[in-house]
Amino acid sequence: MITKRFVWKVQIIATFVFLIFLVPVLYTIASAFKDMTELFSTTPTFFPKQWTLANFIHVLSIGDYTLYILNSLFVATTSTIIAIVINTMSGYALAKYKFKGATIIMIVILSTIMLPLEIFMAPIFKVITFFGMYDSLWAIIIPPAATPTGIFLMRQYLLTIPDDIIDSARIDGASEWQIFLRIIIPNAKPAIATLAIFSFMWRWNDYVWPLISIFSPKKQTLQLAIANLTGEYGTDYTSALAISVFSMIPMLLIFVTFQRSFIQGTVDSGMKG
């Protein structure tokens, strides 16, 4: 039996856990609005006594942070578009066609999860250099666009589209490309939305691909720039906190808008790329 008392107890625990997840983020955002003296005060307060935009103005006036934000936006958007096209194509092939080697290809795709870029940084760097992609934003756009998670997510979703629709289109004389563009893509919209959100988040938050592929300061992404604010001689908090808030804003907007697809997407794919 579930008693009222039990529900109240659970509600209190859930709220306590919520605070553990909320307070660190809230404190960081609030701190970004503090001026220098308050930031390093020996009697700190949680919220600023005097709210100020000074840190945000400062960080946008030094260095090229506007440029880094634009770079990150460009990379995340372009890579996401490519990811949608190629992962939907692969997902469709694996869901709706019977062909030789389908199982092997599926195993190969899934096993790439076991070969993380982080571990093979050095040879991947060599390959990027070999293809003349070093210090080009395309090095952080194209390779990560192919994700096993994306393929898996699309495949699982496309399996639910009835074969009858595809067959009747074929009888009506539609070519395979027409079927893909006119029937599969419109029917796969929910899964595509999920993939788009995930892909954008992965690329916006990415650090390791840019780290090994980008050299020119002008081509830095936001995450690289934030990481450069910390170092052996301590962290430049005035800039780091403000720029961290800039990094969280797009994610927060996407999250609030698409929260449902996000959580549903995690449920469907159960993986990350």
Partner 1 sequence: MTSKVLSYKKYKFKQKIIPYIFLAPNLLIFTIFIIFPALIGIVYSFTDRTLFTFGNANFVGFQNYITIFNDPFFIKALWNTVGLALVTVPLMFVVSLLLAVLLKQPIKALGFYRATYYWPVMISAIVVGIIWQWILAGNYGLFNTTLQGLHNFFKSLGLVSSTFTPSPTLSDGRFAWIAVVFAILWSRAGYYMIIFLAALLSIPVSLYEAAEMDGANKFQKFRFITYPSLKAARTMVLILVTMEVFKIYPLVVTFTGGGPFRATEFTVQYIYKVAFQHYQIGQASAMSVIMLLIVTTFSGIIFFLSKRGEGQ
DSSP conformation letters of 112-146: GGGS-TTTTHHHHHHHHHHTT-TT-GGGGTSGGG-
Position among 20, 104, 107, 171 found at the interface with partner 1 (CB under 8 A) = 20
Q: Which of 129, 238, 126, 150 shows the shortest CA–CA distance to 199?
A: 150
DSSP conformation letters of 135-195: T-GGGGTSGGG--HHHHHHHHHHHTTS-HHHHHHHHHTT--HHHHIIIIIHHHTHHHHHHH
Position among 190, 230, 249, 257 found at the interface with partner 1 (CB under 8 A) = 230
Q: How far is the CB of 17 from partner 1 (least distance, A)?
A: 7
Q: Using CB under 8 A, which of the segments 55-63, 156-164, 188-196, 230-238 binds partner 1?
A: 230-238
Position among 25, 70, 159, 165 found at the interface with partner 1 (CB under 8 A) = 25
Position among 62, 70, 118, 217 found at the interface with partner 1 (CB under 8 A) = 118
Q: Find the binding residues for partner 1 in span 187-226 (CB under 8 A).
A: 201, 204-208, 211-212, 223, 226
Residue 171 engages partner 1 in binding (rule: CB under 8 A):
no
Question: What gap in Å lies between CA 194 and CA 80, rounded to an integer?
Answer: 11
First to last CA, the chain: 42
Residue 65 engages partner 1 in binding (rule: CB under 8 A):
no
Report the interhelical angle of 189-205 vs 148-158 (nearest 10°). Answer: 170
Q: Which string of x and - marks every residue 126-165 that binds partner 1 (by CB under 8 A)?
A: xxx--x----------xx-xx----x--------------
Residue whose CB is less far from partner 1, 25 or 70: 25
Residue whose CB is less far from partner 1, 97 or 164: 97
CB proximity list for 76: less than 8 A, separation 6 or greater: 199, 200, 203, 204
Position among 59, 75, 124, 188 found at the interface with partner 1 (CB under 8 A) = 124
Q: How far is CA 85 from CA 52, 81, 145, 192, 237, in A?
A: 44, 6, 10, 9, 40
Position among 52, 77, 78, 112 found at the interface with partner 1 (CB under 8 A) = 112
Q: How far is the CB of 162 from partner 1 (least distance, A)?
A: 19
Position among 50, 66, 116, 217 found at the interface with partner 1 (CB under 8 A) = 116
